[in-house]
Structure 1
Amino acid sequence: MKTSRREFLNYSSAFALASSMPSLVFAQSKPLFESINMFIPAAPGGGWDSTGRAIEVAAKDAGLVGSFQFENVGGAGGMVGLPRFVNQRKGQGNALMVGGSVMVGAAITNKSPVTMADVTPIACLTEEAGIIVVPVDGKIKTWKEFEEAIKANPKAVSVAGGSAGGTDHQLLGLVIKALGKNPRDAAYVAFAGGGPANAAILGGQVVAGISGYSEFAEQIKAGKMKALAVSGNKRIPGVDVPTLKELGVNVTAANWRGVFGAPGINAAQKAALVDLVTKMHDTKGWAETLEKRKWADAFVAGAAFEAQIKKYIAETETVLKELGLA
């Protein structure tokens, strides 16, 4: 069959395009990072660990990162792991650490020489309201009973939560103050992770517990814990629990979590990490994670995140002074 010059040129163009497609596809699917070293300054199973694992799933599913390597070093609200990250990851452009409000309080409480100021802020990702729970077979069954017990004697109402001086501890102090008692009388029992805190609450070792909703969700759904109140400005979507303000207690608080780069990275390395986390945040997988875990989207990146941290540190110092911890 005779082929015209026009047909020949069309065939040639089509062949050239088809030949180039594999390289184009490869370029588009190449991850932004071949690997990310994810450092979690807490034991497995808690909020920071859950955040890091959720980042891994969303980033890998979207083809943004080839692989993740995790390291968990728990203790003292991140103050055991943070110095390790600072000393061992300096200048590494593919290292990320999960941290948040708990770390701010822990650094102040422990008078740590290494603080959040020694790492590179990348982005705030989530905000989770605190929730106050009691075991269903415990002596306190309702918010009114909890409130009356605090007013009678805060020292007799033991409450489990995360690290001393962290978000959970601060929330308890704010509640006690709002109920007219001295925050320094808080009977706060600190635990290194969500697992031990859950065990203490269910085992009756403490009267109540405070943490983010996601850490108590399974026990609440299983009917083993009862949620009395949440600390956000509004109720958690899909969770029928009143806010402290609805209950007449003028307190709001939330636990934010974000990611940080290593100290000593240059502007280009920082920009690449901000770009990675921004693209991860925009994925469908991340949106589904927020919905599933009841995490509020609190995304702020780069310079705006740095300014937010400075403001939060000042506010935290004020609360911890009232608790006698700063």
Structure 2
Amino acid sequence: MLMAGPALALDSLKIMAPAGPGGGWDQTARTIQATLQSEGLVSNIQVENVAGAGGTIGLQQFINTSAGDPTATIVGGYVMVGAVIANESPVGLEDITPLARLTGEYVIVVVPAASEIQNADDLAEMLRDDPGSVTWAGGSAGGVDHIAAGMFAKAAGIDPALINYIPYSGGGEALAAILGNQVTVGVSGYSEFSGQLDAGTVRAIGITALEAQEYTDAPTFAEQGYPIDVQNWRMIAAAPGITDDEREELLTTIRTMANSDAWNDELRTKGWVNTYMDGDHFADYLAAEIVATTAILEELGIVE
């Protein structure tokens, strides 16, 4: 169990979701907002969406406008690690104050309900015939969705650099392209497609877990012969330039939230795994992820 500190009652908090409405970061920000308020931890919370370039536009705005502000936070995650690298962003995650890793979520690949693609073998065969004819709708270039698509191509014996990946700034835009039959497949976190999977408007081709997940009947790519294991994680961070005491107050608030029944009930509903890690431990983890992701993107030919 997480060790929760005493409950706080901060007057206000701002949370930037550096993506459009409907995506995983937006859902994360609004779930944090709802839980902090329901648990009486923060009385007034505002969520702001700033979309573009895998979160790097919002990240730069956050750094430029929030330095030293102890009420300013931003959500992000593995996608942003890759986007900073792929977009050669002038700012990076080392320029903010890491607070905590909150959740993990496996990536799922879906097709429109009427698609002729029935399973991973069908998708692999189509890629082998003409990699460019298979269009992938997902999040930002260099993010976890792009990495997952590249890993599948590699497992299918295709040069990942040949995939036709179309990045979108939010889950809502990618979903519209899928439902409008503008792309071949969609790739994102499970929570972004769960409603359409339940409604039957899209079908799951595979999920990037090595073992079946209890929240979905989607087959794993591994059980279909494509051993892909990649998980998106999401975090919350504070502004640069805050004091140690201000950081600790925010950490205590987030730690208390992460240990609450309300938060963990939301995670189960959304298919998110509680991968909580905070403080210096998370800061060290983030630094290691930046190094490892750079190597992965180079291996997949996404960056040089």
Partner in structure 2 of residue 293 of structure 1: 270
Conservation of the 8 A alpha-carbon contact between 1:96 and 1:261: yes
* Amino acid paired to 1:175: F
Residue 137 of structure 1: CA displacement? 1.0
Conservation of the 8 A alpha-carbon contact between 1:143 and 1:228: yes
Partner in structure 1 of residue 52 of structure 2: 75
Q: Please give the TM-score of this superposition, normalised by the length of structure 1.
A: 0.89
Segment of structure 1 superposing worse, 266-275 or 133-142: 133-142
* Amino acid paired to 2:175: N
* Amino acid paired to 2:84: A
Q: Does 1:215 align with 2:189?
A: no
Residue 144 of structure 1: CA displacement? 2.0
Partner in structure 2 of residue 108 of structure 1: 85
Helix, strand or coil at the partner of 1:79 = helix
Give, in whole Å, the separation in 2 of the partners of 1:178 and 1:306: 32
Give, in whole Å, the separation in 2 of the partners of 1:62 and 1:100: 24
Helix, strand or coil at the partner of 2:47 = strand
Conservation of the 8 A alpha-carbon contact between 1:158 and 1:189: yes
Helix, strand or coil at the partner of 1:300 = strand
Give, in whole Å, the separation in 2 of the partners of 1:172 and 1:276: 36
* Structure with the greater alpha carbon radius of gyration: 1
Residue 141 of structure 1: CA displacement? 2.5
Give, in whole Å, the separation in 2 of the partners of 1:319 and 1:219: 31
Give, in whole Å, the separation in 2 of the partners of 1:169 and 1:309: 19
Choose the corresponding residue for 1:189, options 166, 169, 177: 166
Give, in whole Å, the separation in 2 of the partners of 1:70 and 1:132: 29
Structure 1: gaps (5+ residues): 1-28
* Amino acid paired to 1:244: F
Structure 2: gaps (5+ residues): 1-5
Residue 285 of structure 1: CA displacement? 0.6
Partner in structure 2 of residue 128 of structure 1: 105
Partner in structure 2 of residue 86 of structure 1: 63
Q: Does 1:277 align with 2:242?
A: no
* Amino acid paired to 2:247: K
Give, in whole Å, the separation in 2 of the partners of 1:140 and 1:245: 18
* Amino acid paired to 2:65: Q
* Amino acid paired to 1:105: G
Residue 323 of structure 1: CA displacement? 2.3
Alignment RMSD: 1.3
Give, in whole Å, the separation in 1 of the partners of 2:29 and 2:99: 14
Segment of structure 1 superposing worse, 253-262 or 233-242: 233-242
Give, in whole Å, the separation in 2 of the partners of 1:243 and 1:138: 19
Conservation of the 8 A alpha-carbon contact between 1:139 and 1:207: no
Segment of structure 1 superposing worse, 33-42 or 236-245: 236-245
Partner in structure 1 of residue 3 of structure 2: none
Q: Does 1:228 align with 2:212?
A: no
> How many corresponding residue pairs?
298
Helix, strand or coil at the partner of 1:108 = helix
Give, in whole Å, the separation in 1 of the partners of 2:205 and 2:109: 6
Deviations 1:42-98, CA, capped at 9 Å, x for gaps:
112211010011011111111111110122111000111111100111111121100
Question: Structure 1 pair 255/30, CA: closer, same or farther in 2 (3 Å)?
Answer: closer
Give, in whole Å, the separation in 1 of the partners of 2:151 and 2:161: 10
* Amino acid paired to 1:246: E
Identity fraction in percent: 39
* Amino acid paired to 2:53: A
Residue 151 of structure 1: CA displacement? 2.4
Give, in whole Å, the separation in 1 of the partners of 2:187 and 2:71: 34
Conservation of the 8 A alpha-carbon contact between 1:165 and 1:320: yes
Give, in whole Å, the separation in 1 of the partners of 2:180 and 2:295: 34
Partner in structure 2 of residue 19 of structure 1: none
